[in-house]
Every structure is written in C-alpha cells, then in structure tokens.
Amino acid sequence: MPDIQPYLILSATLFVIGAAGVVARRNAIIVFMSIELMLNSVNLSLVAFSAQLGDVTGQILVFFVMTVAAAEAAIGLAIVIALFRRKQTLNLDEINILKW
C-alpha cells in the first residue's frame, strides 16, 4: 500500500499554483490553462485515494472529469474566440461588462 500523503501534498501544491494562475494572470488563455492545471491536481488526488482504498470509483471519476474537461475546453475556447472577435483582446481586465 503506497503512502499517499506525498501525492496529496503534491496535488494541493499544483492546485494552489493553478489557483494563483487563475486569480493573477490577465491573459484569458493562460487562465484557462490554469484551470486545467487545477482539474488535473484534483485528478491526482482522486487516483491516489483510489489506490489507497483499492476502490476503482476514484479512477472512474477521473475518467468523467476528463470528459467534462474536454467538453469544457471546447466550450471555453469557443467563448474565447467569440470574445476575441468582439473585443480584439484577451485581457480579462477589459472584459468587465458583467457589472452595474
């Protein structure tokens, strides 16, 4: 039985790095990639737990996360394209129409 604590700490680290990218970067595409990073860190946790518990459900869940991530990437990138067409920029600070 592998000791999963290092895996979980690694997962947390990756998650926080991804989160930092999401909140700090202004380029929409990089923010997007940071989100993928966060998703992957969670996947790592799930696989680690699956291995520890000997239960395949964790891995199945990872499978589903990947499908959703693929769908999300397709939609997200389509939005990015539509946004770029409209605003000629990917700077998130300039995309501020969601306010009063």
Partner 1 sequence: MTLESVIFSVLAASAVGSALLVVTRRNPVMSALYLIVNFFCLAGLYLTLHAQFIAIIQILVYAGAIMVLFVFVIMLLNLGDERKLSDGVSWKKIVAAGFCAALLMEFVYILIYSEPSPAVMSASMATEIGTVEYIGSQLFTKFLFPFEITSLILTAAIVGAIVLAKRKLD
Partner 2 sequence: MTSFAPYIVFLPFIGFLVLGLFGSRIKSEKLIGIIGSGVVGVSFAIAMAIFVQMVGEEPHARKHVVELFTWISAFTGTASSIHVVVAYQVDQLSILMTLIVTGVGFLIHVYSIGYMHGDAGFWRFFAYLNLFIFAMLNLVLADNFLLMFLGWEGVGLCSYLLIGFWYDRKFDVGGYAAGTATTNDAARKAFIVNRIGDFGFILAMLLIFHTFGSLRFDSVFNGAELMSIGNQAAFWITLLLFVGATGKSAQIPLFVWLPDAMAGPTPVSALIHAATMVTAGVYMVARCSILFALAPTTLQVVAIIGALTAIVAASIGLVQNDIKKILAYSTVSQLGYMFLALGVAAFSAGIFHLTTHAFFKALLFLGSGAVIHAMHDEQDIQKMGGLKKYLPTTYKTFLIGAIAIAGIFPFAGFFSKDEILWKAFSSEHGSVVMWAIGVIGAGLTAFYMFRLVILTFEGTFRFGEEVHPHEAPKTMTVPLIILAFLSLVGGFIGVPKSFFGNNMIEHWLAPVFEPASTKLLLIEEGVHATEYVLMALSLGIAAAGIYGAWKVYTKRPDIAESLRNKYTKVYSLLLNKYFVDEVYDKTVVGPTVKLSEKLLWKGFDVAVIDGALNGMASLVSVTALWFRKIQTGIAQTYAVVFVGGIVFVLAWLILK
Alpha helices in 1-92 (DSSP H): 5-24, 28-53, 57-87
Residue 95 in contact with partner 2, rule: CB under 8 A: yes
Least spacing, CB of residue 100 vs partner 1, in Å: 19
Residue 70 or 96: the one with the smaller Cβ distance to partner 1 is: 70
Number of helices and strands in the chain (H, E) = 3, 0
Alpha-carbon Rg for the chain in angstroms:
17
| CA–CA gap between residue 40 and residue 62 (Å, rounded) | 9
Least spacing, CB of residue 86 vs partner 2, in Å: 15
The 3-state DSSP class for residue 23 equals helix
| CA–CA gap between residue 4 and residue 30 (Å, rounded) | 30
Least spacing, CB of residue 89 vs partner 2, in Å: 13
Segment 16 to 55, residues that bind partner 2, using CB under 8 A: 19, 22-23, 26, 31
Binding site for partner 1 (CB under 8 A): 1-2, 5-10, 12-21, 23-27, 29-30, 32-34, 36-37, 40, 43-44, 47-48, 50-56, 59-60, 62-64, 66-75, 77-82, 84-85, 90-91
